[in-house]
Structure 1
Amino acid sequence: MTSWQDSPYLTGAERAALALVETALQPSAGGERVSDELYAQAAEHYEPKALATLMFAISQVSFFNSVALIAKPVPGRSFTDPWK
């Protein structure tokens, strides 16, 4: 969703979640990616357990993105095929 910031259809919680995803998954030249302010905004919309679940979901996206960059998967083939 490229224009989530401008969409009138999203709730504050959805915007906070998308801001976390976008910030956490963007490459950073240095320093922290998620500021204390952004974390506080998300925490306004999510209870601690829900926020932890969201963080783990974001980390899974990052994990699978890394696997795809390394393995270059092809549908219908094992991701280990390039190394056979």
Structure 2
Amino acid sequence: MQARMINPTKTLPGAAQGYQALLQAIQQGGVPQTVLDLVHLRTSQINGCSFCVDYGARSLKKAGETDERLFAVAAWREAPYFTDAERAALALAEAVTRLDPADPVPDAIWEEASRHYDEKGLGAIIYMIALSNLASRVNIAVRQVAGQQ
């Protein structure tokens, strides 16, 4: 597969800076980087963005994440490798990414996430989900090739 064009983040002045500024703000939310990276990876899997999945998995692996956890992110509910706080963030990532028309973010998912994260942390997770969805949609549209920066 070949990309349709250069990634718009590289061609539009200010796009990369805006993306980086939002990432820096997210990192001020007090949520462990591993949780944010797991949220990014799960969001990317749901969206089917091979570039984002590849990038997310490589980032987590570079940070010392185990193969067992990486392999199990797509099936986190049935896997024993995740903490309750990570599970809450992953459930929120799935709800916000899928946006079920009947109840996009059910109260039970929100309440569980709220048990583990304060408002600043929840804000960081929500923006990480949104930023991951943005990246997936851009990369899918231009057919960004996995493994290419």
In structure 2, how many angstroms separate the alpha carbons of the residues matched to 1:32 and 1:70? 27
In structure 2, how many angstroms separate the alpha carbons of the residues matched to 1:64 and 1:31? 26
User: Which stretches of structure 1, 4 residues or more, deviate above 6 A after TM superposition?
Assistant: none
CA RMSD across the alignment = 1.7
1:71 aligns with 142
In structure 2, how many angstroms separate the alpha carbons of the residues matched to 1:34 and 1:22? 9
1:6 aligns with 78
Higher helix proportion? 2
TM (norm. structure 2) is 0.45
The AA in structure 2 aligned to 1:43 is S
Q: Which runs of 5+ in 2 are unaligned?
A: 1-72
The AA in structure 1 aligned to 2:137 is S
Task: Between the two structures, name the one with larger relative contact order (CA 8 Å, sep ≥ 6).
Answer: 2
Task: Look up the SS of the partner of 1:18 in the other structure.
Answer: helix
TM (norm. structure 1) is 0.76
% of aligned pairs identical? 31
In structure 2, how many angstroms separate the alpha carbons of the residues matched to 1:25 and 1:37? 16
* Bigger Rg over Cα: 1
2:115 aligns with 44
Q: Which runs of 5+ in 1 are unaligned?
A: 77-84
